Structure 1
Amino acid sequence: MIKALIVEDELYIRKGLLSMIDSLDKEVSVLGECESVKDAVAVTKACKPDLVFLDINLKDGNAFDFLEQVRDIHFKIIFITAYEQYALQAIKNGAIDYILKPVDIDELEDAIDRAVKSESRIQEEQVQIVKNQLVHKQKNKLVLRLQEGYQVIEYDKLTYCKSDKGYTTFYLDNGKKYMASKPLKEYEGQLDFNSFMRTHQSYIINMNFIDKYDKDGYVFLKSGEKIPVASRRKEEFISRLMEE
């Protein structure tokens, strides 16, 4: 039997989760509910749960305040979140699962099944990835470390990024560009997922600067740049484009 803890500041969501978990008849026993960081830390240290259903925003802080105070993380986490894709994309890439609010019982069942079957535990670096997503989203800017110092780039001014031989060049809408000595993957997790998409191994584009997409698989930005869309990313790209 898996021991679970629900950490969520909304009473109706906690009760809804309890009801759904009971109805699913899984090998999950909910040992408690918490609405604050303080209570969650105390219960976690005392009861040592195997699985935590964790909301992002809590009564007296957020999920990352809780994780930092627990420190030694030996439990699996399923985020219960209202945050959109910029956080979820990072979560998907790690050993962390998520359920979007309002909670769907089928998604809850799938998440629990994956948690039960998985042998992996959450890693601190995966928590940091999600935390970085939230921090950078709130700041609406990216800070590059360059040879001559630090360059601040606002998301709404960045048209696209291009990677070449371990370096990444950032192109702005005013014609300026800056080169940083890190590969593209180092910055992908810091960019707002709602606005940016990696269309190709070497490119991330700002969806707000798209002029058109042609049948040959190329994006044309408003500034005239022609950027490829990899075939395996085509379906996702078109779906994102239609949502704009």
Structure 2
Amino acid sequence: MRSLIVEDKAYIRKGLRNLLQLIDGDIEVIGECESVKDAIVVTTTCKPELIFLDINLTDGNAFDFLEQTEHLPFKVIFITAYEEYALKALKIGAVDYLLKPVDIDDLKSALQKVSTVPLKVQKQNIETVKQIWNNEDHKLILSLQDSFQVIDLNELLFCETDKGYTTFYCNDGKKHMVSKTLKEFENQLSKANFIRPHQSFMVNLKFIDRYDKSGTIHLKNGKKIPVSTRKKESFLNTFLSWTKI
């Protein structure tokens, strides 16, 4: 079976390729991609029969890719971190998935299942997953040390990342810290009208009170957020467009 690995982390791609070589000589890995753009090109050109597909990629997500390749006949095994909203969608849709880091027994099980599911049925199941995923765009579920915290993105002021940790600041004054970088949340937050004016921050556009041309965002709660020189132009374009809505 000709297979493609679409995953934005190199060590996950390497580990998965090594596991496939160990357990199934009939799986031929024809390539690896880390972005939606590259995956579309390779899939269209090489026509893999099976794709190991990470949900969050460098320039979008799995469903952005699937929308643009829905006419092609391939099966999918999703790859995801332990994100509750993603797992909920995958389980309800009855679609095979692998948790990072990939376990060899889980991989064997997923390969066995996907081989028995008709292509038409899997595409229908993936459509169910997509619908659930889109309906969850306004929520974020954070895995804390002893619980899962539901965040309403409409009430999230901003996020700040530092040394591998990200803190979420809510409109009710509460804050929640997780041991993940901001990049892991950037795609979903961007869809919910958040912007990244600085490497360390993402800000909800609806809570911006004003912007000083010196390079400072003032939020409605009084918090000040810096805008980096490199991101100033793109921030202004987005901010000014937002204020016209």
Q: TM-score, normalised by structure 2?
A: 0.53
Question: Who is 1:94 aligned against?
Answer: 93
Q: Contact (CA 8 Å) 2:7, 2:54: kept in 1 or not?
A: yes
Larger mean CA deviation between 22-31 and 101-110 belongs to 22-31
Cα distance, 1:43–1:130 mapped onto 2, change above 3 Å: farther
Question: Who is 2:227 aligned against?
Answer: none
Partner Cα separation in structure 2 for residue 102 and residue 90 of structure 1: 19
Question: Who is 1:13 aligned against?
Answer: 12
Partner Cα separation in structure 2 for residue 32 and residue 22 of structure 1: 14
Question: Who is 1:37 aligned against?
Answer: 36
Which runs of structure 2 are paired with 1:227-238 in the superposition (5 Å)?
Answer: none
Which runs of structure 2 are paired with 1:1-244 in the superposition (5 Å)?
Answer: 2-119=1-118, 120-123=121-124, 125-132=127-134, 134-138=136-140, 140-141=151-152
Question: Who is 2:171 aligned against?
Answer: none
Partner Cα separation in structure 1 for residue 108 and residue 28 of structure 2: 14
Look up the equivalent residue of 1:126 and give its one-letter code: T
Partner Cα separation in structure 1 for residue 31 and residue 2 of structure 2: 9
Partner Cα separation in structure 1 for residue 52 and residue 136 of structure 2: 19
Partner Cα separation in structure 1 for residue 44 and residue 94 of structure 2: 22
Q: Contact (CA 8 Å) 1:10, 1:35: kept in 2 or not?
A: yes
Question: In the TM superposition, what is the alpha-carbon distance from 1:58 to its structure 2 partner?
Answer: 1.1
Q: Contact (CA 8 Å) 1:76, 1:96: kept in 2 or not?
A: no
Partner Cα separation in structure 2 for residue 11 and residue 39 of structure 1: 15
Question: In the TM superposition, what is the alpha-carbon distance from 1:23 to its structure 2 partner?
Answer: 0.2
Cα distance, 1:29–1:20 mapped onto 2, change above 3 Å: same
Partner Cα separation in structure 2 for residue 93 and residue 12 of structure 1: 29
Partner Cα separation in structure 2 for residue 118 and residue 68 of structure 1: 20
Q: Deviations over 1:188-216 (max 9, x none)?
A: xxxxxxxxxxxxxxxxxxxxxxxxxxxxx
Partner Cα separation in structure 1 for residue 23 and residue 74 of structure 2: 21
Question: In the TM superposition, what is the alpha-carbon distance from 1:73 to its structure 2 partner?
Answer: 4.8
Q: Contact (CA 8 Å) 1:90, 1:133: kept in 2 or not?
A: no
Q: Contact (CA 8 Å) 1:75, 1:122: kept in 2 or not?
A: no
What's the Cα RMSD here? 2.6
Question: In the TM superposition, what is the alpha-carbon distance from 1:87 to its structure 2 partner?
Answer: 1.9
Provide the secondary structure at the position in 1 that maps to 2:139: helix
Cα distance, 1:55–1:112 mapped onto 2, change above 3 Å: same
Partner Cα separation in structure 1 for residue 41 and residue 11 of structure 2: 22
Q: Contact (CA 8 Å) 1:53, 1:79: kept in 2 or not?
A: yes
- What's the % identity of the aligned pairs? 55
Provide the secondary structure at the position in 2 that maps to 1:32: strand
Look up the equivalent residue of 1:19 and give its one-letter code: N
Look up the equivalent residue of 1:88 and give its one-letter code: L
Cα distance, 1:130–1:136 mapped onto 2, change above 3 Å: same
Gap regions ≥5 residues in structure 1: 143-151, 155-244
Provide the secondary structure at the position in 1 that maps to 2:43: helix
Question: Who is 1:148 aligned against?
Answer: none
Look up the equivalent residue of 2:97 and give its one-letter code: Y
Q: Deviations over 1:16-37 (max 9, x none)?
A: 0000000002532111110111
Cα distance, 1:127–1:50 mapped onto 2, change above 3 Å: farther
Q: Contact (CA 8 Å) 1:37, 1:60: kept in 2 or not?
A: yes
Look up the equivalent residue of 1:132 and give its one-letter code: N
Look up the equivalent residue of 1:122 and give its one-letter code: K
Provide the secondary structure at the position in 2 that maps to 1:22: helix
Q: TM-score, normalised by structure 1?
A: 0.53
Report the number of matched residues.
Answer: 144
